[in-house]
Amino acid sequence: MTERDWHVLLVAGPSGTGKSTACAALMRRYGIGASELDDLETAVQAMTTPDQQPALHYWSTHAAGRDWTAEEIVDVTLGAVAALAPAITAVVAAHLNHGPPVIMEGDYLLPAHAATLVGPEVRVVFVYEPDEAQLIANFLDREPDEGPQTMRAQVSRLFGEWLRVEASKHGLPAIPARPFATLPDRIQTAAS
């Protein structure tokens, strides 16, 4: 097993960038478990109402019958990600206080929030993919029954670009997803 100098590694970025695959390789390398940031959204949604957490319930209360632009979807996503920040903070603290080391990966982390979590035992790395065609191919490979997901790829590219710029403002690493074969190594290096 590879040595590490952190207790919690957060790997965040938009859907379709290869985070899950890279983190699975890192789990094996470090001999530790992983957690999905996206699962926290599901749990908080199940425990709240739209009145309590409007940003997290936005799609179920507003999405029907409307054509959304990619920019609008990114804005709604940013609201949901921001609303989830207290849950992420709590889970990270629980792992630091008495939990096992963990890799947490998913879409639901903003650079401004991540900057408050980074410390001697917590590292954060953002992953992005700037090529929409590659994102379409990634989604098609992962979910072939869905067909080409052009809008989803556009949203992921826009969200990734926003995350890349914001991560830089907060002094956090943001790395391109490709080449995919070296993504686990590059995440490991960025987290050191």
The pLDDT tens digits for 86-130 are 999 999 999 999 989 999 999 999 999 999 999 999 999 999 999
Which domains, ranges and CATH numbers included, belong to the chain?
8-191 (3.40.50.300)
Phi first, then psi, for residue 18 (nearest 5°) are 95, 10
Give the model's pLDDT for residue 3: 87
The pLDDT tens digits for 35-55 are 999 899 999 999 999 999 999
pLDDT for residue 149 is more than 80: yes
Give the model's pLDDT for residue 60: 85
Provide the β-strand partners of residue 34. 103
| CA 179/CA 112 separation, integer angstroms | 27
Phi/psi region, residue 108 (left: phi>0; alpha: psi -120 to 50; beta: rest), is: beta
Instruction: Please give the mean pLDDT across all residues of the chain.
Output: 94
User: Could you give the C-alpha distances from 80 to 42, 43, 53, 132, in angstroms and in order?
Assistant: 11, 13, 9, 23
| CA 14/CA 182 separation, integer angstroms | 18
Interior angle at CA 104, CA 100 and CA 105, nearest 5? 160
Give the model's pLDDT for residue 47: 95
pTM for the full model?
A: 0.95
| CA 93/CA 22 separation, integer angstroms | 24
Confidence of residue 2 (pLDDT cuts 50, 70, 90): confident
Confidence of residue 181 (pLDDT cuts 50, 70, 90): very high
pLDDT for residue 63 is more than 80: no
